[in-house]
Structure 1
Amino acid sequence: MSTIQNERILLVSRPKGVPTAENFTIDQQPLEEAAEGQLQIQTLYISVDPYMRGRMSEAKSYAASYALNEPVSGGSIGKVLQSNDSRYQEGDIVVGGWGWQRYAVVDADTCRKVDPELAPISTAVGVLGMPGLTAYFGTLRIGNPQPGETLVVSGAGGAVGMLVGQIGKIKGCRVVGISGSEEKNRYLLDELGFDAVINYKDEKPVREALEEACPDGVDIYFDNVGGEISDAVIDLLNTNARIPLCGQISLYNNEKPDIGPRIQPTLLKRTVLLKGFLVGDYAADAAEGLKEMGSWVKEGKLKYRENVVEGFENTPQAFIGLFSGENLGKQLVKVTD
């Protein structure tokens, strides 16, 4: 048994509505040695993502619910301390899903090596990780953007949304972003080249702002948020529009099903494609996506932002902040250098 004491953040109760600090606790236990085919890892960065909220519920979904009194699992980046697999050496940087703990012992097959020379290692859970691939495949495979079309993306200031908009620009679209702060919208306009932005917290109704920003209607709607914002966008869809359905963050903390407009008549009359997707659907093509995204980053065609919270103990608060829109770009927790 290792002499290292491992701190872990456990889910101790299922949130009702927005998660609170009381849903989590920190424990300690001795770190195991790496067995054959395993790696002993020290965590450097932890990724916190909206999808984790769904797994904190017992409701049936595409992934199993988190078990109570166990560490919250999710994307993490770490340094190999001990390897019992010939593919990895001590000191290698890896990305995997061991989640909210300072150290971990994991099967080597569940990790991927990160090249620190390619880009900052934090990008392995951001633009060159799950959020980047989500934006890439959702936009290109489902959205199928064509030059001159109008692409609207909600949650545009988040890790996925800002990449969706930039991919749309690369493909020649007019891009409109919806977010909840002037800071985010200014970044989308000035730094990322979005054509128009909408602050859904403004006094002007989102529908009215959309009509001004999308005079020719909407051809692609990349939906990250759901709710009333999506209702407003759907009213403006053009014939043969496409909707990559990625997330519904406005609804994740609802304790009862949301009641909204019946959208099926609109989708039918305008022959709209609405397709929900998971990034894992495209796992076989992940290397292709990472290669092209990496090229765009290297060429300066694709920019990204990271919101980094310092300190392992602050992981729950960083996660909770996602639901009030505190993050501009990818939300990360830096555990150690």
Structure 2
Amino acid sequence: MPLQTVNRQWLLARRPEGQVRAGDFKRHDAPIPAADLAAGEILVRNLMFGFDPAQRGWMDDVASYMPPIAIDEPVRGSAVARVVASANPAYPEGAMVRGLFGWQDYAVAARSNEAAPVQIAQGVAPEQALGVFGAASLTAYVGMLDVGRLGAGDCVLVSGAAGAVGSIAVQIARLRGARVIGIAGGPEKCRWLTEDYGADAAIDYRSEDVRSRLGALAPDGINLFFDNVGGSTLEAGISHIARFGRIVLCGAIASYNDAHPAPGPRNLMRLVSQRAEMRGFILLDHLDRIPTAMADLRQWVQSGEVRYRVDIQRSFEAVPQTFLRLFSGASQGKQLLRIDGAE
């Protein structure tokens, strides 16, 4: 793969105010990083980007589990890349790797102060490495089994259930013998939940009253609620939590683009009366579980017990618009973009 003459980048031009917009990013052509790498470093060329709602939070200038993206720096994001130069014997030239390489063609990786890139096994396609075998699926695995302590016979509720995290969470719950209710937007995504992912029931939050539907579908309450949405959806789930139920907070996509923080759930005393628990988590705190999770996911995918969707857009110039698909409901599975000219 010949080197280009420039390193195309998408930079964070300004902090988004409320709803993220294409104008919050700007295109920039930078020199390709020098190939005289320090010991241990590698130069990679990105082939495919993965997009996650969490990236929206990294754009705000607030303290979090990761530092905010700096203005005029490439937007932090996951990618699959090929090693094109290496000063690290663990990453030979030609190897395929996954990491937070950012919205750019080339990046220097494996620096001593950064998380090590993940080598991609032979036969795993880029869309699988970023999708069903990527961070979203690992997050669903840890959140369901370790944080949520999923048990056979549980009544499980998953919000954002047709998304990259939620769809895997639904299927893990089904595989472990739970009764699963998924919340998604629109009849097509609700059909995916019941027909493709094996949910026992689906609630269309766009056309149905979530709280009343939960009362009908879970008359004895919800034992485990895996929440990706927050806001009024979280409040509805709390209102139907069973005694000693567990609520796992994975994300809150409903509020990521709020200009001002929305009021929190108004029914937190329900947790007290039901002796329920609510806990947030981050995958980075459970890295020791990744080998087991990956082994299980590979087995489930190979056997057909876990199914997945990917939504692959094309063209480096379409990066911002592809990211925005996450917040409009346009994404039809794990949102990806294949970089033109990088095959």
- Partner of residue 18, structure 1: 19
Segments of structure 1 that go 5 or more residues without pairing to the other structure are none
Q: Check if 1:327 corresponds to 2:331.
A: yes
Residues 181 and 39 of structure 1, relative CA distance in 2, 3 Å threshold: same
CA RMSD of aligned residues (A): 1.5
Q: Once the two structures are superposed, what CA deviation does each residue of 1:180-215 show, in whole Å capped at 9, x if it has no partner?
A: 11111111111111110011000x311112222223
Instruction: Report 1:46-61 matches (<5 A).
Output: 46-61=49-64
Instruction: Report 1:179-258 matches (<5 A).
Output: 179-202=184-207, 204-258=208-262
Contact 2:234 2:265 in 1 (8 A): no
- Partner of residue 106, structure 1: 109
Residues 80 and 238 of structure 1, relative CA distance in 2, 3 Å threshold: same
* Per-residue deviation, 1:284: 2.1
* Per-residue deviation, 1:262: 3.0
* Per-residue deviation, 1:3: 6.3
Residues 262 and 6 of structure 1, relative CA distance in 2, 3 Å threshold: same
State the SS of the aligned residue for 2:164: coil
Contact 2:9 2:105 in 1 (8 A): yes
Letter in structure 1 aligned against 2:95:
D
Bigger CA drift: 167-176 or 145-154? 145-154
User: C-alpha separation between the residues in 1 aligned to 2:4 and 2:313?
Assistant: 28
Contact 1:97 1:110 in 2 (8 A): no
Contact 1:225 1:250 in 2 (8 A): yes
- Partner of residue 318, structure 2: 314
Letter in structure 2 aligned against 1:153:
V
State the SS of the aligned residue for 2:70: coil
User: C-alpha separation between the residues in 2 aligned to 1:34 and 1:307?
Assistant: 37
Contact 2:18 2:260 in 1 (8 A): no
Q: Once the two structures are superposed, what CA deviation does each residue of 1:142-172 show, in whole Å capped at 9, x if it has no partner?
A: 2212222110000011100000000000000
* Per-residue deviation, 1:34: 4.7
Q: Check if 1:153 corresponds to 2:155.
A: no
State the SS of the aligned residue for 1:42: strand
- Partner of residue 33, structure 1: 35
User: C-alpha separation between the residues in 2 aligned to 1:287 and 1:295?
Assistant: 12
* Per-residue deviation, 1:263: 3.1
Which residue of 71, 75, 78 maps to 1:75? 78
User: C-alpha separation between the residues in 1 aligned to 2:298 and 2:135?
Assistant: 13
* Per-residue deviation, 1:125: 2.0
User: C-alpha separation between the residues in 1 aligned to 2:87 and 2:93?
Assistant: 10
Normalised by the length of structure 1, the TM-score is: 0.95
Contact 1:66 1:72 in 2 (8 A): yes
User: C-alpha separation between the residues in 2 aligned to 1:103 and 1:168?
Assistant: 39
* Per-residue deviation, 1:250: 0.3
- Partner of residue 95, structure 1: 98
* Per-residue deviation, 1:229: 1.2
* Per-residue deviation, 1:323: 1.0
State the SS of the aligned residue for 1:70: coil
User: C-alpha separation between the residues in 2 aligned to 1:223 and 1:170?
Assistant: 19
Which residue of 286, 290, 297 maps to 2:301? 297
Contact 2:44 2:83 in 1 (8 A): yes
User: C-alpha separation between the residues in 2 aligned to 1:168 and 1:112?
Assistant: 27
- Partner of residue 116, structure 1: 122
Letter in structure 1 aligned against 2:35:
E
Q: Once the two structures are superposed, what CA deviation does each residue of 1:279-337 show, in whole Å capped at 9, x if it has no partner?
A: 00101222221121112111211111111111111111111111112113211111143
Normalised by the length of structure 2, the TM-score is: 0.94
Contact 1:151 1:220 in 2 (8 A): yes
* Per-residue deviation, 1:30: 1.6
Q: Once the two structures are superposed, what CA deviation does each residue of 1:24-64 show, in whole Å capped at 9, x if it has no partner?
A: 11111121215132212111111111011111111222221
Aligned length: 334
* Per-residue deviation, 1:103: 1.5
